[in-house]
Amino acid sequence: MPELLTIQNLRVGHGDAVVIPNLSLRLDQGEALAVLGRNGVGKTTLLDSIIGVTRRFGGNLSLAGRDITRLTPEARAHAGIGWVPQERNIFPSLTVEENLTATARPGKWDLPRIYAMFPRLQERRANMGNQLSGGEQQMLAVGRALMLNPRLLLLDEPTEGLAPIIVEQLLASIRQIIRDEGLATIIVEQHARKILKVTDRAVILDRGEIVHQARSDALLADPSPLEQHLGVIAKGAAA
């Protein structure tokens, strides 16, 4: 498949601190990538660098052949990057429907499609953002990102803090987005084994560097790299 995202020799951080010293990565159109690693190794910083909210010390990024290195976060969103941050960042004083339509762009992802994927959002469409449960807020955050009709979807810890039944529902939706819709996706996730079931490929980060990369099915078949680099996280996820 044609390459969608290309990251070359990226060196980024926050303030004067360099979190990612030198990272190169590519993602093909329609490909789903899991980004794994212990806490504090640079996973979220990698996503932040793709949307343009880190300090760049070097390197460059391109999306579908277009250099986006110096674009603002708003311009990157318009270029086709959808982002679901760990904090969700929904608008608490807007209704569910207003959250979905506030930044929507024309395309195949519209209100009927979002409501078909997340029926609970349709049921709660008149409720304010701050009246939703954690699981509903996460569904809303994903739906809002899809309403941008992005080329690339970034998900930062999408299942964190959610009840197991909600996690399974959300993972089913993510699987549909990836497999049925063919939307290129990068997912930062602690639950390695769960997310490897819906992604094509995975990279493991340590101290801002890629220390292992493999196909997701290969890591599921032989989880020893997960145990080596993630330790208790991988063992817990394997249950």
The full DSSP string for 162-182 is: --HHHHHHHHHHHHIIIIIT-
Q: Rounded to whole angstroms, how far apart are CA atoms 24 and 61?
A: 9
Q: What are residue 58's DSSP bridge partners?
A: 11
Inter-residue contact 134 to 158 (CB < 8 Å): no
Residue 126 in this model has a pLDDT that exceeds 80: yes
pLDDT in tens, 160-205: 999 999 999 999 999 999 999 999 999 999 889 889 999 999 999 9
C-alpha span between 138 and 128 (Å, rounded):
14
Average pLDDT, the chain: 94
Q: Which domains does the chain have, with CATH numbers?
A: 3-80+150-237 (3.40.50.300)
**127 Cβ neighbours under 8 A, 6+ residues apart:** 95, 96
Q: Which of 185, 114, 104 is nearest to 152 (CA)?
A: 185
State yes or no: pLDDT of 233 exceeds 80. no
Q: Can you say whether the dihedral through the CA atoms of 65, 26, 75, 105 is positive or negative?
A: positive
Evaluate if residue 38 carries a pLDDT over 60. Answer: yes
SS3 label, residue 193: helix
Structure token pair of residue 48: 């932040």
Cβ–Cβ under 8 Å, residues 204 and 210: yes
DSSP conformation class of 128? B
| Percent over 70 (pLDDT), the chain | 97
Q: Where are the alpha helices (DSSP H) in 22-175?
A: 43-51, 73-79, 96-102, 111-117, 119-123, 134-146, 164-175
